[in-house]
Structure 1
């Protein structure tokens, strides 16, 4: 009996000492995710990435796991979550993603409430080239790490001057989301795709740019997927093309929008609401995330990106004003557009005109007018690209 009591006590002591993962939570979308795992003590983890499929691997001492299966279900960028014991006193969590990603932050923080610890990982969509660079760096540093200083990662990304300027053109709407409709039945998704294809050809003819489309056919894409495509191509500029319809049928002309938490005017705010509902219109559940900025550097990157977006918007208004009709009051406006929220890609939304106006609708259907508009955009991008590359990015 004494031996049994001692044995049971030893087992209980080992159970108390065993690392325990008490829960797994994740939130986000196809462009950005946050993963949180709670532990009873510091897991002293190491992490690395793997390819085919793209995976984040977190190794730690042997652990017990209490995860809810519903919390592990695929969402956003995450395709699957696996975990278990490897033997020899080690355990592992594997998070598989549906494409290349970057680890912006992976840290352990102390919980003030219960004395435990939580692993926090901030993940962002990335490009294959950037992912491959991270894997190459792993080989040089024994393929594992605890954290990676963000400044170091940023410094190793190829400078825009090392390659041609990259533009991602986003034809708004598509598939089940038809967008606005004109008096004669013109659908916004059709106009935006036709113009995007023509703009891509015009940009490629200049010989200065690498150009990518978020869609090249009648296809529905979530707003966060459009953002992710821009990030995967390491875009230097993202242009989302639209042609809205509003109640005031006399309003016409092109408008350029940039992102801002505070709208420039009531119409810009209403426009952002309409565009941000694109996912809901197509039957996709929209989860709004309110995550803290990971650190001061990330906030500075966003501010710099927004500054570049505004700079390009002003150039675009200037060039388009000589090519096509702009809306007469405040042709550069801003509001909280979800599709413009890539933190590291200067982005604008271009409203070519209003399908609710008969004259604009006729012009939007006119190939010659679209060609003039495309030429103006190409000129604006050329000026912007030259300024960015001349300043070293």
Structure 2
């Protein structure tokens, strides 16, 4: 961990001071027989110097950042058994520590080194099919150039398609068609996320021992079916069975299926059984109240059940445009939450101050407006009884469909 933290932030001044040391170390590594064959006498070109690197991510995404002294031209291709992305570079001296690129999450192994005269490679092996979602070189002023590679989970069909282009693909030819994308149509896609699942049962009802994971899946299926019946709308269930999904995987699946909205359904439990009613949550770094903070903390523990580390995105690779996207998305999320509250009022029991906010990990998609809906609380006997009633369930689902269509209507009318 210490090596990873040291690699997180380098100021330009620090780079200018330390780079000569990295160069010496990297050249020693490049000329070592254990790393590659000795360079031929007529090899006049000096190798690139990769003086710093960082690999971060979770079980759904990964980002590799490598800093070079000069601009690296590179190409890439995919391999399988296991799924791999191979980054081909000119002769490169790798001067960073192994700790900086220790395999984690989606990435099961990473190897790098000289693979032939004038050629080096970085090979990223994954635990399942993957796709490259970003491949670019950024100029960092006096600090040199930065290679940024983003990877994400992919379905088997897409990965087989990527494998078909087995030949080396120049970086300049990388395009977003490499990324999973649904066929263009006019459908408004809502990703419906049934909270919990599999080994993660969620809350348990006080009276009937109802499992939250069963309640959320039941409501998610009903919501998806109702929404599918509305012309111009489509739905995607992040899970349609009793399986475990990490929080980041839920978000990534929604993104890959072209979701325009993300709605996560929950039925939590509280230490105060007298509290009842539906609640709508949006994302915020600062919780609106203690109840919201406690719920977010409990929901965010889902990843720990399977020993999944939280995603780490170093500050220096955060894009300004991405931050602007997050702000716009947050505004849309709040609008959606307001529509849900308006649709429920007088029809579905609501908690006091029904729109609240906290740092829910499952709401962190930067590009998809997202809300978390607590249908009710399993700690309250009346709420539990209502949630087990198919008639009440259908009533809530109808109100939720109404909220989604209300939300979209102003957007459609504003289109040119």
TM-score by length of 2: 0.76
Q: Residues 268 and 333 of structure 1 are in contact (CA less than 8 Å); yes or no, is this contact kept in structure 2?
A: yes
Local SS of the residue matching 1:353: coil
Count of matched residue positions in the alignment of Structure 1 and Structure 2: 366
Question: Matches of 1:49 and 1:253 in 2, distance apart?
Answer: 52
Q: Tell me which residue corresponds to 2:327.
A: 303
Note the C-alpha offset of 1:82: 4.5
Moved more, 285-294 or 166-175: 285-294
Q: Residues 160 and 392 of structure 1 are in contact (CA less than 8 Å); yes or no, is this contact kept in structure 2?
A: no
Q: Residues 182 and 257 of structure 2 are in contact (CA less than 8 Å); yes or no, is this contact kept in structure 1?
A: no
Question: Does structure 1 residue 144 correspond to structure 2 residue 170?
Answer: yes
The structure 2 residue matched to 1:280, chosen from 291, 300, 304, is 304
Question: Matches of 1:239 and 1:358 in 2, distance apart?
Answer: 25
Question: Matches of 2:237 and 2:108 in 1, distance apart?
Answer: 24
Distance change >3 Å, CA 288–CA 302, structure 1 → 2: same
Question: Matches of 1:366 and 1:63 in 2, distance apart?
Answer: 65
CA-to-partner distance for each residue in 1:78-117, whole Å, 9 max, x for gaps? 35434454545222324355333421754253675xxxx5
The structure 2 residue matched to 1:268, chosen from 269, 286, 292, is 292
The structure 1 residue matched to 2:148, chosen from 95, 101, 121, is 121
Question: Does structure 1 residue 60 correspond to structure 2 residue 86?
Answer: no
Local SS of the residue matching 1:103: strand
Local SS of the residue matching 1:376: helix
Question: Matches of 2:371 and 2:197 in 1, distance apart?
Answer: 19
Question: Matches of 2:402 and 2:302 in 1, distance apart?
Answer: 30
Local SS of the residue matching 2:334: helix
Distance change >3 Å, CA 47–CA 345, structure 1 → 2: farther
CA-to-partner distance for each residue in 1:285-308, whole Å, 9 max, x for gaps? 435545346332111111111111
Gaps of 5+ in 1: 1-9
Q: Tell me which residue corresponds to 1:42.
A: 70
Instruction: Let me know the Cα RMSD of the aligned residues.
Output: 3.7
CA-to-partner distance for each residue in 1:252-288, whole Å, 9 max, x for gaps? 0000000011111121111111111111134434355
The structure 1 residue matched to 2:189, chosen from 162, 166, 171, is 166
Q: Tell me which residue corresponds to 2:258.
A: 234
The structure 1 residue matched to 2:370, chosen from 337, 347, 355, is 347
Question: Matches of 1:355 and 1:278 in 2, distance apart?
Answer: 18
The structure 1 residue matched to 2:228, chosen from 204, 208, 211, is 204
Local SS of the residue matching 2:325: helix
Q: Residues 102 and 126 of structure 1 are in contact (CA less than 8 Å); yes or no, is this contact kept in structure 2?
A: no
Where does 1:1-393 land on structure 2 (aligned, <5 Å)?
A: 17-21=46-50, 24-39=53-68, 41-48=69-76, 50=78, 57-65=86-94, 74-78=103-107, 80-85=109-114, 87-95=116-124, 98-103=129-134, 106-109=137-140, 117=144, 119-121=146-148, 123=150, 125=152, 143-145=169-171, 162-184=185-207, 185-292=209-316, 294-327=318-351, 329-392=352-415
Q: Residues 135 and 171 of structure 2 are in contact (CA less than 8 Å); yes or no, is this contact kept in structure 1?
A: no
Local SS of the residue matching 1:258: strand
Q: Residues 30 and 228 of structure 1 are in contact (CA less than 8 Å); yes or no, is this contact kept in structure 2?
A: no
Question: Matches of 1:104 and 1:65 in 2, distance apart?
Answer: 19
Question: Matches of 2:53 and 2:41 in 1, distance apart?
Answer: 25
Distance change >3 Å, CA 91–CA 104, structure 1 → 2: closer
Q: Residues 36 and 118 of structure 1 are in contact (CA less than 8 Å); yes or no, is this contact kept in structure 2?
A: no
TM-score by length of 1: 0.80
